[in-house]
Structure 1
Amino acid sequence: MSNSLLLLLSIGPLAMVLVMIASQRAGAVNDAYTGEVTGRWVRSSTGTYGPTGHCMMRIRADEGRELTIEVNGRTYQSLGVGDRVVKVPGARWPVRSE
């Protein structure tokens, strides 16, 4: 087997995974909804560099769908259970509705 074919076969799956991750993130940024925060928690995991916290929120959209999203620490601190939120296309995180 030639070296170029071996290189292509080894890098191909990695490239596909990276494309899938990028498309999921782009879809999350383009998503839009209004709803209410119904739950929030911090999920921890331990990796190579020690424990890592992931701030999670559950949102019930006005259309009836349930969303579980990971947010940054600032968004997590600013929103509580029962808060009305709005997420506009292009914004990374939901914000409290006015």
Structure 2
Amino acid sequence: MSGTVFLILSLAPLVLVLALLAGQRATAVDEAYAGEVTGRWLTSSTGTYGTTTRCVLRIRDDEGREFAVVVNDRTYTALDVGDRVVKTPGARWPVRSQ
């Protein structure tokens, strides 16, 4: 009995963290905006498995909000400061506006 309780108590924090991460990702995919890229940069950190690089875009949307978006390397390479971008609901990354 105590082994089962220990197992449940040790796995509960992991399940909670995974649920929070899944909720954040779902919210990011459902988000929609249009705006302009006002900045871009790379950050890197070294951990147990080597160096991790994150590609970040700063976007000012049409309502004047400014926020940073972590994107994949292909999106980072395709967009530059001054580009007009659109992010539709269901899409993972913003794309250049036509």
Fold agreement, TM-score > 0.5: yes
Match for 1:23: what amino acid?
A: G
In structure 1, the partner of 2:88 is 88
SS at match of 1:70: strand
Aligned CA RMSD, in angstroms, stands at 1.0
Map residues 1-98 of structure 1 onto 2, 5 A cutoff: 2-98=2-98
Q: Return 5+ residue gaps in structure 1 as ranges.
A: none
Match for 1:25: what amino acid?
A: R
SS at match of 2:80: coil
Give the drift of 1:49. Answer: 1.9
SS at match of 2:6: helix
Give the drift of 1:42. Answer: 0.4
State how many pairs are aligned: 98
Query: In structure 1, how many angstroms separate the alpha carbons of the residues matched to 2:25 and 2:67?
Result: 15
Query: In structure 1, how many angstroms separate the alpha carbons of the residues matched to 2:21 and 2:93?
Result: 17
Query: In structure 1, how many angstroms separate the alpha carbons of the residues matched to 2:21 and 2:65?
Result: 22
Give the drift of 1:91. Answer: 0.3
SS at match of 1:39: strand
Give the drift of 1:66. Answer: 1.4
The percent identity for this pair of structures is 64
Q: Return 5+ residue gaps in structure 2 as ranges.
A: none
